[in-house]
Amino acid sequence: MKYQPQTKTPVDAKVRRSVPPVVCYPITTLPRPAMDIYAQARENLILQEEITIPPRDAKIFTVPAGHFFRITCPDGPQVGDLNLWCADNLDERFFSGKTRALHGTHVSTGDQLWSNLPHMRPMATLTHDTLDWYGWDEFGGSVHDVIGTRCDPYTNAVLGSEDYHYCCHSNLTRALAADRNISLVQAEPFVHDVLNVFMCTGFTQDTHQYFMKASPVRKGDYLEFFAEIDLLGALSTCPGGDCSSSHSSEAASCFALNVEIYKCESDHLTNWQSPPKSSYPGTHGLK
Ligand SMILES: [Zn+2]
């Protein structure tokens, strides 16, 4: 945050401040997903599996490359925290920060979820978003952010709150440990910054602090993804519920979320290929 300055304002402050910004990563050269292929493929989706995540919990799911999956809101307004890994290599995982740098603070249809370095490839493409009508509200808020990290008991401890064991970080850790048959200590480092599905967030206009407000998600809404690679996913139903007031406690009303996995007819995907890992050789200037 920016507190009361201790440094005298220089005489050319106005000139320095008036320099126009440039976008860090213009995406004019970024290969764009073939949305027409996905649009055709999603016309005939065949439901393969449906997983229900109870309130204040997380579950693991797998999605083969070339399949679709939807995170749906079957009951009441509820936010979900999503982790994604390459199914056969947990070291390759969703890179929230670079996804934000490329696609902005909140994602929607046409954006892609990128994996971490040195892999750096699209893991999934967003193919439908029933909350895309929301756009930006008067507070600068929007849905599905890649700003927040996930609620966790360590931040609670720093802030002096009582221990709470069903934060998204803990839910994701428990779910991954159980699925992989590894200890919590082994699983925890694989849990990473999330896509905040259905969460409505932004930055306050005065202090630029991260804010949340009641999610506009309603029963029947969904966010749909196309799996570009074989995926292992984990979704936590945030203890904040719709995140209108608090999280990291038992205070909020919480609901279940569903994950639906769909197959499409393979002839729709004849012109699609699973993306390779980054072409950068990793030499970093050394021969
Ligand atoms: Zn949470």
For residue 249, pLDDT over 80 is answered with no
Q: How much is the average pLDDT of 210-225?
A: 98
CA 241–ligand 1 middle distance (angstroms): 8
**What's residue 250's pLDDT?**
82
- How far apart CA 260 and CA 41 sit, in angstroms, is 16
Whole-number Å distance, alpha carbon 176 to ligand 1 midpoint, is 16
DSSP 9: P
Read off the pLDDT of residues 128-142 as tens digits, 9 standing for 90 and up: 999 999 999 999 999
DSSP single-letter state for residue 92? E
CA of 239 to the centre of ligand 1 (A): 6
How far, in Å, from the CA of 117 to the mean position of ligand 1? 25
Q: What whole-number distance in Å separates Cα of residue 57 and Cα of residue 277?
A: 32
**Distance of CA 82 from the midpoint of ligand 1 (Å):** 10
DSSP string, 97-110: HHHHHHH-SB--TT
Check residue 251 and give its pLDDT. Answer: 84
Task: Please tell me the least confidently modeled range out of 56-60, 80-84, 143-147, 262-266.
Answer: 262-266
What's the pLDDT at 287? 81
pLDDT score at 148 = 92
Residue 192: its H or E element: none
pLDDT of residue 243: 94
Q: Which of 61, 58, 146 is nearest to 95 (CA)?
A: 146
- State pLDDT tens for residues 108-127: 999 999 999 999 999 999 99
Looking at the chain, the whole-number percentage of residues with pLDDT higher than 90 is 92
**Per-residue pLDDT, 92:** 98
Write the pLDDT tens digit of every residue in 161-200: 889 999 999 999 999 999 999 999 999 999 999 999 999 9
Q: What is the pTM of this model?
A: 0.96
Q: What is the per-residue pLDDT for 89?
A: 97
Neighbours of 151 (CB within 10 A): 26
Whether the predicted pLDDT of 218 surpasses 80: yes
Distance (Å, whole) CA 27 – CA 44:
31
In the reported structure, the alpha carbon of residue 94 is separated from the centroid of ligand 1 by a whole-number distance in angstroms of 17
Ligand 1 centre to CA of 254 (Å) is: 11
From ligand 1's centre to the CA of 54, what distance in Å?
14
> Which of 58, 45, 42, 52 shows the shortest CA–CA distance to 74?
52
Residue 126 Cα to ligand 1 middle (Å):
21
pLDDT of residue 268: 84
Q: How many A from CA of 226 to the centre of ligand 1?
A: 24
Q: How far is the CA of 24 from the centre of ligand 1 (A)?
A: 29
pLDDT tens digit sequence for 61-71: 999 999 999 99
> Which of 25-29, 61-65, 263-267 is the least confident region?
263-267
From ligand 1's centre to the CA of 21, what distance in Å?
Answer: 33
Give 55 Cα–ligand 1 centroid separation in angstroms.
11
Q: How far is the CA of 240 from the centre of ligand 1 (A)?
A: 6
The residues spanned by each domain of the chain are 46-266
